[in-house]
Chains A and B, each alone.
Chain A
Amino acid sequence: MIWLQLLLFATGLAAVAPGWLARARWVARAPRLGIAAWYATLTAGVGAVVTALVLLATGWAGAWESMCALWVWCRDALQGGHGTAGRGAAGLLLLVAAGLVGRLAWSATGMLRARSRQRHHHADAVGLLGRVDPGSGATVVAHPRPAAWLVPGRRGAVVVTSAAVAHLSGDELASVVAHERAHARGRHHLLVAPVTVLARAFPALALFGHARDEVSRLVEICADDAATVRHRRIDLARALVCVAEAAAHRPPTGVLAAAGGDATERVHRLLCPPDPLPVKARAAIGVALVGLAAAPLWWVAATRAAPWLAACLLP
């Protein structure tokens, strides 16, 4: 009953991984590995579920009738072999499967189209309202509140407000621009998009929401780390505090954005940077993550080699 083992594995992983990754200290010391860990967890979990379904559908693992029993039953039921009730049940199963795939497609395309429209309009507005500041290379728009952000796209512009230019020193502003440029160089929107699509498609699965929140948080830390290669940590920290103060006293109109807890953690991390993870530890974690991501496949291959494994851990 390999498919059952795989489903149990996926459920267990979804329950245990978020807490474990939140407590792991190496994540703060190697944020990119942390992001990889989240993706490895998702790959393992989703992969286990998909592999289980494929096994059920094709009976690939061989002679175990229990695995292809569901598929055979469905096929016969659709052809009327189990009466109208059977046909109805099989049809319902097909509908559910189609519904899940459809929901994922809806989430992905909806997000892509809405974001694309919004971003074209936003890029147009930045082009019309902003002036490029030759000192920092950023586009400056006049506004009384210090802020900075990246307009994604092929020519992603870093936008800062005139208040940011006024309140931050030259070095602090340069570190902010470097942070936003690090997002563009690292293509971080590509890291955040898949988990956002999953979380939007299946909001009931807490694992996806955790993954989206954590990947977003780690991506900010990665950009901080990249910016502080060429700029001083204290400058970025001062800039963060300045912009955060402005954010606290002048909330944007509309729904409140995500909690600023991230900024607090980021400032503390900039003021007291953690020791980087040694190369051996990174390599070990990397190997473990690859192993985790491919775990469902390893397990299926192992049960081929040692068939008794297929019955273990089950009542």
Chain B
Amino acid sequence: MRRFGELEAAVMDCLWSRDQPATVREVHTELSRSRQLAYTTVLTVLDNLYKKGWLRRQQDGRAHRYVPVAPREDYTAGLLRDALDTGGDPAAALQRFVGQMSPEEAVALRAALEAHEEHEEHRR
């Protein structure tokens, strides 16, 4: 399965901004406002996202209604947990920019930076 692209992101955006489950028709209508899209394309994307566990599906008469499994913030929080939590193994994290730090260390670091910048100012 190819990686998620711009279309999948737009579909999720659309669903996250609604409060209620949406049918394929409703999603297609909304997305068609800004791009050319076949109905079947939207149907495939929704089905893929459902199969990959991003959406829940409910039967509504003859149509399906789709709704995201969790709000957007949950997923972003999950991303950060993945990236920044290491469970004690420094190499297990995805290559993150800075590891965890205590408040005291952070204060000392900020002080060191400011002392350096002052020193540089006086030199000039």
Residues of A that sit less than 8 Å from B by CB: 118-119, 122-131, 141-143, 145, 147-152, 155, 159, 161, 176, 179-180, 183, 188-189, 192-193, 195-196, 212-213, 215-217, 223, 234, 237-241, 243-245, 247-249, 251-264, 267-268, 271
Contact = CB atoms under 8 A, between A and B. Distances in A.
A249 B109 contact: no
B79 interface: yes
A269 B53 CA distance: 45
B98 A143 contact: no
* Secondary structure of the A contact surface, majority rule: helix
Give the bracket for the number of chain B residues in contact with chain A.
35 or more
A153 to B, nearest CB: 9
B113 A248 contact: no
Interface of B: 3-5, 8-9, 12, 52, 54, 72, 75-103, 105-106, 108-110, 112-113, 116-117
Nearest to B72: A129
Nearest to A223: B95
B113 A238 contact: yes
Nearest to A245: B106
Given A253-B81, A267-B112, A260 B95 contact: no
B103 A248 contact: yes
B99 A128 contact: no
Select the residue from B93, B97, B116 with max chain A CB neighbours within 10 A. Answer: B97
Contact of B109 (A155, A195, A244): A244
Contact of A147 (B84, B106, B109): B84
